[in-house]
Amino acid sequence: MSIEENLKTVQAQIVAAAEEAGRDPAAVQLVAVSKKQPEARVEAALIAGHLVFGENRVQEAQGRWGSFEEGWRADYADLKLHLIGPLQSNKVKDAVALFDVIETLDREKLARALSAEMERQGRHLPCFIQVNTGDEPQKAGISTDALPDFYDFCVGECGLDVRGLMCIPPVNEPSALHFGLLKVWADRLGVPDLSMGMSADFEKAVPLGATYVRVGSGVFGDRVF
Ligand SMILES: *Cc1c(COP(=O)(O)O)cnc(C)c1O
Protein backbone atom coordinates (compact mmCIF):
# COMPACT_ATOMS: atom_id res chain seq x y z
CA MET A 1 0.00 0.00 0.00
CA SER A 2 1.25 3.48 -0.81
CA ILE A 3 0.98 6.39 1.59
CA GLU A 4 -1.49 7.98 -0.80
CA GLU A 5 -3.71 4.89 -0.69
CA ASN A 6 -3.44 4.70 3.10
CA LEU A 7 -4.53 8.31 3.36
CA LYS A 8 -7.51 7.66 1.10
CA THR A 9 -8.47 4.58 3.10
CA VAL A 10 -8.28 6.34 6.47
CA GLN A 11 -10.18 9.35 5.13
CA ALA A 12 -12.87 7.04 3.77
CA GLN A 13 -13.13 5.31 7.16
CA ILE A 14 -13.53 8.70 8.84
CA VAL A 15 -16.25 9.69 6.40
CA ALA A 16 -18.07 6.39 6.88
CA ALA A 17 -17.88 6.58 10.68
CA ALA A 18 -19.11 10.19 10.65
CA GLU A 19 -21.99 9.51 8.28
CA GLU A 20 -23.07 6.47 10.23
CA ALA A 21 -23.18 8.63 13.36
CA GLY A 22 -25.07 11.41 11.59
CA ARG A 23 -22.11 13.79 11.85
CA ASP A 24 -20.70 16.03 9.14
CA PRO A 25 -17.55 14.27 7.87
CA ALA A 26 -15.98 17.65 7.16
CA ALA A 27 -16.00 18.32 10.90
CA VAL A 28 -13.39 15.61 11.46
CA GLN A 29 -9.79 16.33 10.49
CA LEU A 30 -7.07 13.77 10.05
CA VAL A 31 -3.80 14.63 11.80
CA ALA A 32 -1.19 12.40 10.15
CA VAL A 33 1.31 11.58 12.89
CA SER A 34 4.71 11.73 11.20
CA LYS A 35 6.89 11.11 14.26
CA LYS A 36 9.65 8.54 13.75
CA GLN A 37 8.79 8.18 10.08
CA PRO A 38 11.31 8.36 7.24
CA GLU A 39 11.40 11.58 5.23
CA ALA A 40 10.24 9.85 2.05
CA ARG A 41 6.95 8.75 3.61
CA VAL A 42 6.24 12.23 4.93
CA GLU A 43 7.03 13.70 1.53
CA ALA A 44 4.69 11.19 -0.10
CA ALA A 45 1.88 12.43 2.15
CA LEU A 46 2.64 16.04 1.24
CA ILE A 47 2.71 15.18 -2.44
CA ALA A 48 -0.64 13.43 -2.03
CA GLY A 49 -1.94 16.78 -0.80
CA HIS A 50 -2.13 16.08 2.92
CA LEU A 51 -1.34 19.16 5.01
CA VAL A 52 -2.05 18.38 8.66
CA PHE A 53 0.67 16.58 10.62
CA GLY A 54 1.34 15.65 14.24
CA GLU A 55 4.71 15.41 15.95
CA ASN A 56 5.44 14.47 19.55
CA ARG A 57 8.96 15.86 20.00
CA VAL A 58 9.98 19.43 19.35
CA GLN A 59 13.56 18.63 18.41
CA GLU A 60 12.66 15.80 16.06
CA ALA A 61 10.01 17.98 14.43
CA GLN A 62 12.52 20.78 13.95
CA GLY A 63 14.86 18.36 12.23
CA ARG A 64 12.15 17.24 9.85
CA TRP A 65 10.11 20.38 9.20
CA GLY A 66 12.80 22.97 9.86
CA SER A 67 15.21 21.40 7.39
CA PHE A 68 13.23 22.45 4.36
CA GLU A 69 14.67 25.42 2.52
CA GLU A 70 14.03 28.87 3.94
CA GLY A 71 10.57 30.12 3.09
CA TRP A 72 9.23 26.76 1.89
CA ARG A 73 6.19 27.05 4.09
CA ALA A 74 4.95 29.94 2.00
CA ASP A 75 4.24 27.29 -0.66
CA TYR A 76 2.20 25.28 1.83
CA ALA A 77 0.10 28.05 3.29
CA ASP A 78 -2.41 25.59 4.74
CA LEU A 79 0.13 23.29 6.35
CA LYS A 80 -0.64 22.75 10.02
CA LEU A 81 1.74 21.15 12.48
CA HIS A 82 0.24 19.87 15.73
CA LEU A 83 2.38 19.24 18.79
CA ILE A 84 0.94 16.08 20.35
CA GLY A 85 3.71 15.16 22.80
CA PRO A 86 4.79 16.56 26.17
CA LEU A 87 6.24 20.08 26.03
CA GLN A 88 9.11 21.03 28.35
CA SER A 89 9.30 24.66 29.38
CA ASN A 90 12.75 25.07 27.82
CA LYS A 91 11.33 24.05 24.42
CA VAL A 92 8.43 26.50 24.46
CA LYS A 93 10.18 29.11 22.32
CA ASP A 94 11.00 26.61 19.57
CA ALA A 95 7.55 25.03 19.78
CA VAL A 96 5.73 28.34 19.36
CA ALA A 97 7.92 29.19 16.38
CA LEU A 98 7.38 25.85 14.61
CA PHE A 99 3.93 24.53 15.48
CA ASP A 100 0.43 25.77 14.59
CA VAL A 101 -1.51 23.96 17.29
CA ILE A 102 -0.37 22.91 20.77
CA GLU A 103 -2.38 19.86 21.90
CA THR A 104 -0.58 19.11 25.15
CA LEU A 105 -1.22 22.00 27.50
CA ASP A 106 -1.29 20.31 30.90
CA ARG A 107 0.13 22.49 33.71
CA GLU A 108 0.13 26.08 34.95
CA LYS A 109 3.83 26.67 34.46
CA LEU A 110 3.51 25.65 30.82
CA ALA A 111 0.41 27.79 30.33
CA ARG A 112 2.29 30.83 31.63
CA ALA A 113 5.34 30.12 29.49
CA LEU A 114 3.24 29.60 26.36
CA SER A 115 1.28 32.76 26.98
CA ALA A 116 4.43 34.87 27.38
CA GLU A 117 6.16 33.33 24.38
CA MET A 118 3.12 33.66 22.08
CA GLU A 119 2.93 37.30 23.05
CA ARG A 120 6.63 37.76 22.30
CA GLN A 121 6.41 36.09 18.90
CA GLY A 122 2.98 37.47 18.05
CA ARG A 123 1.83 33.90 17.34
CA HIS A 124 -1.37 33.20 19.23
CA LEU A 125 -1.72 29.49 18.59
CA PRO A 126 -4.82 27.47 19.34
CA CYS A 127 -4.26 25.10 22.27
CA PHE A 128 -5.84 21.90 23.52
CA ILE A 129 -5.74 20.85 27.15
CA GLN A 130 -4.48 17.30 27.52
CA VAL A 131 -6.68 15.42 29.97
CA ASN A 132 -5.48 12.34 31.84
CA THR A 133 -8.89 10.68 31.63
CA GLY A 134 -7.60 7.45 33.16
CA ASP A 135 -5.85 9.21 36.07
CA GLU A 136 -2.68 7.30 35.23
CA PRO A 137 0.21 8.53 37.39
CA GLN A 138 2.84 8.06 34.66
CA LYS A 139 0.82 9.82 31.97
CA ALA A 140 0.81 13.50 31.07
CA GLY A 141 -2.38 15.50 31.23
CA ILE A 142 -4.47 17.20 33.85
CA SER A 143 -6.97 15.19 35.92
CA THR A 144 -10.66 15.80 35.33
CA ASP A 145 -10.92 17.07 38.95
CA ALA A 146 -8.49 19.87 38.22
CA LEU A 147 -9.73 20.58 34.70
CA PRO A 148 -12.32 23.34 35.31
CA ASP A 149 -9.91 25.48 37.36
CA PHE A 150 -7.08 24.82 34.95
CA TYR A 151 -9.25 25.80 31.99
CA ASP A 152 -10.21 29.07 33.73
CA PHE A 153 -6.55 29.72 34.51
CA CYS A 154 -5.44 29.15 30.89
CA VAL A 155 -8.18 31.32 29.41
CA GLY A 156 -8.64 33.91 32.16
CA GLU A 157 -5.15 34.44 33.60
CA CYS A 158 -3.08 33.52 30.57
CA GLY A 159 -5.37 34.58 27.73
CA LEU A 160 -4.69 31.36 25.84
CA ASP A 161 -6.93 30.34 22.98
CA VAL A 162 -8.11 26.99 24.35
CA ARG A 163 -10.09 25.37 21.56
CA GLY A 164 -10.46 21.88 22.86
CA LEU A 165 -9.42 18.83 24.82
CA MET A 166 -7.13 15.96 23.96
CA CYS A 167 -6.69 12.53 25.54
CA ILE A 168 -4.71 9.32 25.22
CA PRO A 169 -6.77 6.55 26.86
CA PRO A 170 -5.12 3.86 29.02
CA VAL A 171 -4.01 0.93 26.88
CA ASN A 172 -5.96 -1.71 28.77
CA GLU A 173 -9.34 -0.03 28.92
CA PRO A 174 -12.03 0.43 26.29
CA SER A 175 -11.08 3.73 24.69
CA ALA A 176 -14.72 4.62 23.99
CA LEU A 177 -15.29 5.23 27.72
CA HIS A 178 -12.54 7.82 27.72
CA PHE A 179 -13.69 9.43 24.49
CA GLY A 180 -17.19 9.74 25.92
CA LEU A 181 -15.82 11.31 29.09
CA LEU A 182 -13.74 13.81 27.13
CA LYS A 183 -16.82 14.80 25.12
CA VAL A 184 -18.80 15.42 28.33
CA TRP A 185 -16.06 17.72 29.58
CA ALA A 186 -15.74 19.59 26.30
CA ASP A 187 -19.48 20.27 26.39
CA ARG A 188 -19.33 21.41 30.01
CA LEU A 189 -16.50 23.82 29.31
CA GLY A 190 -18.01 24.88 26.00
CA VAL A 191 -14.93 24.15 23.88
CA PRO A 192 -15.60 23.03 20.32
CA ASP A 193 -12.73 20.65 19.54
CA LEU A 194 -11.80 17.16 20.62
CA SER A 195 -8.55 15.46 19.64
CA MET A 196 -9.03 11.75 20.26
CA GLY A 197 -8.53 8.45 18.48
CA MET A 198 -5.39 6.89 17.01
CA SER A 199 -4.83 4.15 14.39
CA ALA A 200 -6.45 1.45 16.51
CA ASP A 201 -9.53 3.34 17.62
CA PHE A 202 -10.21 6.46 15.56
CA GLU A 203 -13.38 4.93 14.16
CA LYS A 204 -14.70 4.75 17.72
CA ALA A 205 -13.71 8.35 18.44
CA VAL A 206 -15.60 9.80 15.48
CA PRO A 207 -19.14 8.91 16.65
CA LEU A 208 -18.23 10.23 20.10
CA GLY A 209 -17.42 13.67 18.77
CA ALA A 210 -13.76 13.73 17.69
CA THR A 211 -12.96 16.75 15.54
CA TYR A 212 -9.33 15.65 15.15
CA VAL A 213 -8.06 12.08 14.98
CA ARG A 214 -4.32 11.42 15.25
CA VAL A 215 -3.30 8.55 13.01
CA GLY A 216 0.34 7.51 12.62
CA SER A 217 1.00 3.90 11.66
CA GLY A 218 -2.35 3.65 9.90
CA VAL A 219 -1.13 6.25 7.42
CA PHE A 220 2.63 5.75 7.30
CA GLY A 221 3.15 2.15 8.38
CA ASP A 222 5.30 1.06 11.31
CA ARG A 223 7.59 3.67 12.80
CA VAL A 224 11.25 3.13 11.96
CA PHE A 225 13.26 4.65 14.81
C1 LIG B 1 2.21 8.31 18.23
C2 LIG B 1 0.96 8.99 18.61
C3 LIG B 1 -0.21 8.83 17.85
C4 LIG B 1 -0.31 7.93 16.65
O5 LIG B 1 -0.28 6.58 17.02
P6 LIG B 1 -0.66 5.43 15.97
O7 LIG B 1 -1.05 4.30 16.83
O8 LIG B 1 0.57 5.18 15.17
O9 LIG B 1 -1.77 5.94 15.14
C10 LIG B 1 -1.33 9.53 18.25
N11 LIG B 1 -1.31 10.36 19.32
C12 LIG B 1 -0.21 10.53 20.07
C13 LIG B 1 -0.25 11.45 21.23
C14 LIG B 1 0.96 9.85 19.74
O15 LIG B 1 2.05 10.03 20.50
Cα separation values, 215 from 39, 84, 93, 104, 177, Å: 17, 11, 26, 16, 19
Instruction: State which ligand 1 atom lies nearest to the alpha carbon of 220.
Output: 8
* Residue 214 alpha carbon to ligand 1 centre in Å: 6
What pLDDT does 29 receive?
A: 98
Ligand 1 mean position to 224 CA, how many Å? Answer: 14
Query: Binning pLDDT at 50, 70 and 90, where does residue 161 land?
Result: very high
Residue of higher predicted confidence among 78 and 3: 3
The pLDDT of 66-94, averaged and rounded, is 85
- pLDDT over 90 for what percent of the chain? 91
Please give the average per-residue pLDDT across 207-220, as a whole number.
98
Q: Which residues line ligand 1 (CB under 6 A)?
A: 33, 35, 56, 84-85, 168, 198-200, 214-218
What are the pLDDT digits (tens) for 46-74?
A: 999 999 999 999 999 998 887 665 666 76
pLDDT for the residue numbered 69: 57
Tell me the pLDDT of the chain averaged across its residues.
95
Q: Phi and psi dihedrals of 194, rounded to 5?
A: -135, 120
- Please give the Cα distance from 59 to 152 (Å, whole number): 30
Whether the pTM exceeds 0.85: the reply is: yes
- Note the pLDDT tens digit of each residue in 11-22: 999 999 999 999
Q: For the residues 200-224, what does the mean pLDDT come to?
A: 97
- The residue whose CA has the least distance to atom 11 of ligand 1 is 214
**Which pLDDT score is estimated for 68?**
62
CB neighbour list of residue 206: distance below 8 Å, 6 or more residues apart = 14, 17, 18, 21, 23, 28, 197, 213
Condensed to tens digits (0 to 9), the pLDDT of residues 124-138 reads 999 999 999 999 999
What's the start-to-end Cα distance of the chain, in Å? Answer: 20
